[in-house]
Chains A and B, each alone.
Chain A
Amino acid sequence: MLEIVTVSLLNGVVYGLLLFMLSSGLTLIFSMMGVLNFAHASLFMLGAYLSYQLGRWVGFWPALVVAPLLCAAIGAAIERWGLRRVHPHGHVAEILFTFGLAYVIEELVTMTWGRNAVANPVPASIDFSLFTLFGSTFPAYKGLMMAISVAMFVCLYVALRRTRIGLIIQAALTHPRMVSALGHDVPAVFVLVFAIGSGLAGLAGVIGGFMLLTQPTLAHAVGPIVFVVVVVGGLGSLAGALIASMLIGILQTFAVAVDYSMLDVLNAMGVGVSRASALGEVLGIKLATAAPVVPYLLLVLMLVVRPRGLLGTRDV
C-alpha cells in the first residue's frame, strides 16, 4: 500500500511538473491578452522537433539552450505579424487565428520531418538511473525535468515580482489600458510576453520530446489539458498554475491506481445495484478507466462554481 502510494505520488509530481512547464507560458499569454492560444501546444511540439534536429547537429546541451530561443523568436513573429493584425477583428478572430495556426504548424512539421515519430531517444548523458525507490528505478531525465520546472517557476516568480519589466508586465496583466496611458509601450510588452511564453513552451518541448513520442500529433495529445491547468489555476497567477498542474497530475495518477468504482462502494454499503442495468453500467466505471475524464470534470466544475480559478486575480 505504502509502495503504490509513494510511487504514485512521485509519478504524479513528475507529470504535474511537466504540465506546469507547458502551461506556465500559456498562463502568461492568456492572462495578458485574453487570447486562448491554441498554438501553444504546437510550439511545445516545435521545441521537441527543433531540439531533435539541433541535437543531431550540435548535441543535446546546446540544443537545450538554442531550441527554446528559436521558439521564442517564432512566438514573437506570430504576435507581431499575425495576432496584432487580427486583434482589431475581435477576440473570436484571434482564437480562430491561433486555431488555424496550430493546424498549419502541425502540417509544416509533417512536411519537414515526415509523419512517423522521429527517433528522439533520451540523450546518453542523462540516460541513467538516479535512485531506486521500492524496487522501481527513477530515471535521471525525469530528475532533470523536475529541476528545470522548479527553476522555471522560481525565475518567473522573481522576474515578475522584483524586476521593473516584471512589474510593468504584472500591471499590464490587470490594467493594460492604464499602463498604456502611463506611457509604456504595451504592444512591445505583448510581444515580449508572447515570446517568453513560447520560449517556455519550447523548453518544455525539449524534455517532453523524449519523454513522450516526438511525432506530429504530439500537440493534440497535450493541448486540451493545458487549458484545463490554466483555467483551474486562475488567470494571472503563476502559483495557481503550479498548484493546478500538481493537483491534476497527482489526481490523474492516483485515479489510475484505484480499481474500484461507485458500484463497488454502493455494494459494499449494502445498496444492491445490478451491474447489468443501465445505472449499473454508469456507476460501474472503475476510477482507473475514468482517469482521463478527471481533468475535464474539474474544468467544468471550476468554471461553473468559481470562474476565477483557484488563485486568479481577475475574471476570465
Chain B
Amino acid sequence: MSVRTSSAVGLGFAIACLAGSAGADVKIAFIDPLSGGAASTGILAQKTHQFYIDAINAAGGLNGEKLELLSYDNKVNPQESLIQLKRAIDEGARYIVQGNGSAVALAISDAVQKHNERNPGKEVVYLNYAAIDPALTNDKCTFWHFRFDADADMKMAAMTDVIARDAKVKRVYLINQDYSFGKAVAAAARRMLGEKRPDVTIVGDELHPLQKVNDFSPYVAKIKAAAADTVITGNWSNDMVLLIKAGKDAGLKVEWETYYGGSPGTVTAVGEAGVDTLKQVSEWHRNAAPELDGSVAAFSKRFPGKENEYAYWRAKTMWEMFAAAAKKAQSNDPVKVARALEGLKMPTSLGEVEMRADNHQLLQPLYVSTLERNMKYDSEGTGLGWRTDAKVDGKATALPTTCKMERPK
C-alpha cells in the first residue's frame, strides 16, 4: 500500500516540477558539448552565440520579439543530442544551433527532418555553425538545415591550392579522427592532391578513435618513420592539441596543414616550434583585416581572459544573416525565415557572403594562414600570430553539389 502511495506522491511532485514554461520570446536551443573533452570549444561557442543574440535584442529584437538562448549539453554524443533536441523542442525552441561534431549534426539533421514531417505547423530550423561533413549539403541535405561554415571539401580545395604552389611538399601524411568528418577530410585530400599535384606521394593515411587518444607519440613515431614532410589533419579540440604537443615533444619537423590549428590551446601547445610550420584554413584570423578590430574588441570586453579569445567570426555572419532573413520575411516563423534565408546575400567586413539556395551552404571568403612571429595581434598571449598566405573569394569556394532537397509547399 505505502509503496504505491509513495509512488503517487513522488509523481505528484514530478508533475509540479514538470509544469511547462511558456513565453512569447523566440527560443533558440544551443546543443553542443558543455562538459568533457570538447567542452572548451562548446563553452566558447555558447558565449559567442549569446553575445550576438544579445546584440540583436539590444537593437530591438527580431521583428519586435526578444530572442532567448537555451543551452543543452550533448557531450558530442548523437544519442544524447536527440534527447536534448526533444527536450528543446518541448521547451518551445523553434531554432536549433549546433556545430561540434558531424556525427551529431547528421543525427540532428535527420531528427529535425522527421519531426517537421510529423508535426506540420511546429517546424524547427537547424542552424549549423561548425559541422563540416560534406554530406550535410550533398547526399543528406534537407531544407531545414543551413550551414554557415565552409565544408570539408571546400576547405581542402583552398588548402590544396596553396600546397600546389609549394614545391617543398613531396611526402604527405594524413591523420584524422575515425568518423564521417575525418574520413571526408582524408578522401578529399587524396582526391584533390591527385588532381593538383600528382607528383606528391601520400605516405600514410591514419584514422584514430575520436576524443579517446591520450598520447599521440606512437602516431608521431609513424609519421617520422614514413619520412613525411607535411601532415594534413582535420583533428579538433583535444585531438588537435595533443597531436601537436606530441609532435613538439618528439621534435617532429613537418608542415602542419590543419583545419583547426587555431582551436583553443593549440598555439600554446606548439609554441615557437609552430612558426612557419603550423597552417590553418579558416573563415578568418585575427590579422586578416583591420576591420575586425571593433567586433573582437567588443567581445573581449564582455568576455575577458585567455580562454575566451574570440574564435567564431562565422557566428557573427550567421546571426546577422538570421536577423536580415527575419526582417525580409517580416515574420519569426521558421518556415518563412528559412525561405528568406535561401539565396540571401550580405556584405561583411571580410567580403560578400551568400547562402546558396540549392544546398543551403554558405559561401564566404576563406583564408589559408601560417603562424608567425611579430604579427600585430598574437594568439593566446604567446607572441605568435597568424599571417595570411592566401585568401579565396566567397564565390570561388563553391563546389558542385548532389543535393536534391524537398521543399515545403
Q: Do A and B bind each other?
A: yes
- Which A residues lie at the B interface, using CB under 8 A? 3-4, 7-8, 11, 14-15, 110, 115-117, 119, 121, 129, 132, 134-137, 139, 142, 211-213, 215-217, 221-222, 252-253, 256-257, 288-289, 292
Q: Is B2 an interface residue (CB 8 A)?
A: no
Q: Tell me whether A11 and B218 are in contact (CB under 8 A).
A: yes
Q: Tell me whether B214 and A222 are in contact (CB under 8 A).
A: yes
Q: Is B113 an interface residue (CB 8 A)?
A: no
Known: A136-B221, A212-B214, A292-B209. A116 touches B250 (CB 8 A): no
Q: Tell me whether A129 and B238 are in contact (CB under 8 A).
A: no
CA distance A212 to B215 in the complex (A): 7
Q: Is B40 an interface residue (CB 8 A)?
A: yes
Q: Is B398 an interface residue (CB 8 A)?
A: no
B242-280 residues with Cβ-Cβ distance < 8 A to A are 242, 249-252, 265, 268
Q: Tell me whether A116 and B39 are in contact (CB under 8 A).
A: yes
Shortest CB-to-CB span from A222 to chain B, Å, is: 7
Look across to chain B and name the residue whose beta carbon is closest to the beta carbon of A106. Answer: B35
CA distance A281 to B216 in the complex (A): 26
Q: Tell me whether B218 and A136 are in contact (CB under 8 A).
A: no
CA distance A136 to B43 in the complex (A): 36
Look across to chain A and name the residue whose beta carbon is closest to the beta carbon of B214. Answer: A212
Shortest CB-to-CB span from B238 to chain A, Å, is: 6
Q: Tell me whether A116 and B43 are in contact (CB under 8 A).
A: yes
Q: Is B241 an interface residue (CB 8 A)?
A: yes
Q: Is B307 an interface residue (CB 8 A)?
A: yes
Q: Tell me whether A213 and B43 are in contact (CB under 8 A).
A: no
Q: Tell me whether B39 and A137 are in contact (CB under 8 A).
A: no
CA distance A242 to B220 in the complex (A): 26
Shortest CB-to-CB span from A76 to chain B, Å, is: 29
Nearest 4 A/B pairs, CB to CB: A137-B251, A256-B218, A4-B225, A136-B250
Task: Write out the residue numbers on chain B whose beta carbons fall within 8 Å of the beta carbon of A115.
Answer: 34-35, 39, 43
CA distance A289 to B37 in the complex (A): 21
Which listed residue, B207, B218, B221, B251, touches A132 by the CB 8 Å rule?
B251
Q: Tell me whether B268 and A119 are in contact (CB under 8 A).
A: yes
Category for how many chain B residues contact A: 20 to 34
Known: A136-B221, A213-B238, A256-B219. A116 touches B251 (CB 8 A): no
Known: A116-B39, A213-B242, A216-B35. A4 touches B222 (CB 8 A): yes
CA distance A7 to B206 in the complex (A): 18
Known: A115-B43, A212-B214, A289-B178. A139 touches B249 (CB 8 A): yes
Task: Write out the residue numbers on chain B whose beta carbons fall within 8 Å of the beta carbon of A216.
Answer: 35
Q: Tell me whether A256 and B178 are in contact (CB under 8 A).
A: no
In this complex, which of B37, B218, B268 has the most chain A Cβ atoms within 10 angstroms of its Cβ?
B218
Q: Tell me whether B221 and A8 are in contact (CB under 8 A).
A: yes
CA distance A211 to B269 in the complex (A): 12
Other A-B contacts than A116-B40, A117-B238, A221-B214, 19 sampled, CB-CB below 8 A, are A3-B224, A4-B222, A4-B225, A7-B221, A115-B39, A135-B251, A136-B220, A142-B249, A211-B215, A212-B242, A213-B241, A215-B39, A217-B35, A222-B214, A252-B218, A253-B218, A256-B222, A257-B221, A288-B206
Q: Tell me whether A117 and B265 are in contact (CB under 8 A).
A: yes
CA distance A256 to B37 in the complex (A): 22
- Which B residues lie at the A interface, using CB under 8 A? 34-37, 39-40, 43, 178, 206-207, 209, 212, 214-215, 217-222, 224-225, 238, 241-242, 249-252, 265, 268, 306-307
Known: A212-B215, A221-B214, A256-B218. A136 touches B37 (CB 8 A): no
Look across to chain B and name the residue whose beta carbon is closest to the beta carbon of A136. Answer: B250
Q: Tell me whether B307 and A136 are in contact (CB under 8 A).
A: no
In this complex, which of A11, A121, A252 has the most chain B Cβ atoms within 10 angstroms of its Cβ?
A11
Task: Write out the residue numbers on chain A whose beta carbons fall within 8 Å of the beta carbon of B36.
Answer: 217
Look across to chain A and name the residue whose beta carbon is closest to the beta carbon of B264. Answer: A116
Task: Write out the residue numbers on chain A whose beta carbons fall within 8 Å of the beta carbon of B215.
Answer: 11, 15, 211-212
Shortest CB-to-CB span from B187 to chain A, Å, is: 17
Look across to chain B and name the residue whose beta carbon is closest to the beta carbon of A8. Answer: B221
Task: Write out the residue numbers on chain A whose beta carbons fall within 8 Å of the beta carbon of B221.
Answer: 4, 7-8, 11, 136, 257
CA distance A292 to B219 in the complex (A): 13
Q: Tell me whether A257 and B222 are in contact (CB under 8 A).
A: yes
Shortest CB-to-CB span from B215 to chain A, Å, is: 6
Task: Write out the residue numbers on chain A whose beta carbons fall within 8 Å of the beta carbon of B242.
Answer: 212-213
Shortest CB-to-CB span from B108 to chain A, Å, is: 22
CA distance A288 to B241 in the complex (A): 21
Task: Write out the residue numbers on chain B whose beta carbons fall within 8 Å of the beta carbon of A116.
Answer: 39-40, 43, 307
Q: Tell me whether A292 and B218 are in contact (CB under 8 A).
A: no
Task: Write out the residue numbers on chain A whose beta carbons fall within 8 Å of the beta carbon of B35.
Answer: 110, 115, 216-217
Shortest CB-to-CB span from B316 to chain A, Å, is: 23
Look across to chain A and name the residue whose beta carbon is closest to the beta carbon of B75. Answer: A217
Look across to chain A and name the residue whose beta carbon is closest to the beta carbon of B221. Answer: A7
CA distance A8 to B223 in the complex (A): 12
In this complex, which of B207, B221, B252, B265 has the most chain A Cβ atoms within 10 angstroms of its Cβ?
B221
Task: Write out the residue numbers on chain B whose beta carbons fall within 8 Å of the beta carbon of A129.
Answer: 251
Q: Tell me whether B178 and A215 are in contact (CB under 8 A).
A: no
Task: Write out the residue numbers on chain A whose beta carbons fall within 8 Å of the beta carbon of B222.
Answer: 4, 256-257
Look across to chain B and name the residue whose beta carbon is closest to the beta carbon of A213. Answer: B238
CA distance A236 to B143 in the complex (A): 63
Shortest CB-to-CB span from B320 to chain A, Å, is: 28
Task: Write out the residue numbers on chain A whose beta carbons fall within 8 Å of the beta carbon of B249.
Answer: 137, 139, 142
Shortest CB-to-CB span from A232 to chain B, Å, is: 19
Task: Write out the residue numbers on chain B whose beta carbons fall within 8 Å of the beta carbon of A139.
Answer: 249
